[in-house]
Structure 1
Amino acid sequence: MSAESTGSRTFTYWRLRFHDWRGSRPFWAGLFTLAGGGPIIYFPYANMHLGNMTIAMSTTGGAGSLIIGVLLITLGVTMWFHSVVRVFAGIAAILLALISLPVSNIGGFVLGFLLSALGGALALSWAPAKPDRAPAVPTEGEPEGVSPQGGTPDGPERVSGFDAFQPAVVPGQQPAAHNDDTTVDANGGRHRAG
């Protein structure tokens, strides 16, 4: 093995771990909220230099801007590490973004306001993925995959996929022949060969 392949494998491992971590929480909501706090904090304390002239942006709302910005950064980190409180954090981020408009230089010159409001909205709309359910184990005397009431253990029998478009078989009639381009898998389902 070469050193290059080991490094590639390590990078792939960490990339997949980050992908799993990011997928289990409102990552983008936290990122936008956290990024929205930066301009709100920065602009009231920034000094612009135009040649020999210094323009100070500081206003009486400097302390308010600092508090709002720090709270937005805290909410962004909270969305990442405590996704259970994402609804509260999203509502608080939107309210702080709105408060930043009159308090801190029009919400960090609208940039901080837009990022924070977008992050709060994404936090409100995010929902965790539903875990895959394990198949039910049949008891003695029951055929596998069928509940005593009929259908499957998940509820009434449903037809989906390619089988949903097959014509129904009426008792006493021969079933229609399937095209040659379909195959039958181990569970009896038909799939198009392709």
Structure 2
Amino acid sequence: MKTGPGASALLLSLALMTLTGCGMTDTNESSDNLPLAGTSTSAAAADKAEKVSSEIYDLIGIKGKASETGPGVSECEGKDPEKYFQIFHPWSFTPASADQLDGVMERLKKQLPEHGWKVVEYGPDTSKNKNINLTADNDAKKYSVNIVHRAKSDPPHLALTVVSGCYQVPDGEKVEHF
């Protein structure tokens, strides 16, 4: 599926609203319920997001190809955009053979909690295709993931978005946007 810049921005904002804070808890939460993920530079936080994505890739457990999109930086709503940021990492996974995706969402629903994730949403979406959606939070890592099985796409694939809690840059630094 190809989307224009406006549609991509809308999808990203919906993903960020859906993923962040739905279950992640922290005693230092910001006023808009985004958990604070700690202090970090944008680059170091992006590296962590890629590591989280890699761990999820390993849990998929089938042969295929992941897209090579890198993480991006977004603002934390209601926070100073010069000091606070979130990392988002959208990517996709296309299996070597479409039938390899059979049962992968059920397996992920079972395996993610064994690796520190809490599944907070699971089931078909409201689209015509009734794509299976899984959203999970990892309180320890301060990350959320949304995985959508797009079984009726050509080719069938998983669409994933990994989103961090709200980071603060170290004193004297500014948020680097990419």
| Shorter-normalised TM range | under 0.3
TM-score for the superposition, normalised by structure 1: 0.20
The structure richer in helix per residue is 1
Q: More relative contact order in 1 or in 2 (CA 8 Å, sep 6+)?
A: 2
TM-score for the superposition, normalised by structure 2: 0.21
The structure richer in strand per residue is 2
